[in-house]
Amino acid sequence: MNLHAMKLVTIVCESYAREPVTQLLRIVGANGWTLFPVEGEGSHGKRFADIQESANIQIEVIVPPEVSAQLLEKLSDELFAPYAMIAFESEVRVLRPGKF
């Protein structure tokens, strides 16, 4: 069994940001991700209403380390200003790396 060191990048954002984020994932070559509807409470103490228009989403994607750096930089440069969004990376060890 071969496990491969990869990065899990997690993005929490307004659902409005879904299309720009997933477009960016395609641009950097991420081949798959999962998307969760979440409730969130952010840095201003605002509770997001449980409705489609203002819902939050969490997107998780596994990428090689160099893609993680590129993805986080593009998120920071292009999407952090217009959208409520946070992003972080963590270490994972993956079966089936060819899927990513």
Q: Does 92 bind a second copy (CB under 8 A)?
A: yes
Q: Does 55 bind a second copy (CB under 8 A)?
A: no
CA distance 85 to 57: 10
Q: How far is CA 18 from the centre of its chain?
A: 9
**Restricting to residues 62-91, which ones interact with a second copy according to CB under 8 A?**
62, 69, 72-73, 75-76, 80, 86-91
Q: Does 24 bind a second copy (CB under 8 A)?
A: no
- Buried b / exposed e along 52-87 (16+ C-beta atoms within 10 A): eeebbbebbbbbbeebbebbbeebeeebeeebbbeb
Q: Does 15 bind a second copy (CB under 8 A)?
A: no
User: Which amino acid is it at 24?
Assistant: L
Q: Does 34 bind a second copy (CB under 8 A)?
A: yes
Q: Does 32 bind a second copy (CB under 8 A)?
A: yes
Contact by Cβ (8 Å): 92, 7: yes
Residues in contact with a second copy by CB under 8 A are: 1, 3, 6, 8, 10, 12, 22, 31-36, 38-43, 45, 56, 58, 62, 69, 72-73, 75-76, 80, 86-96, 98-100
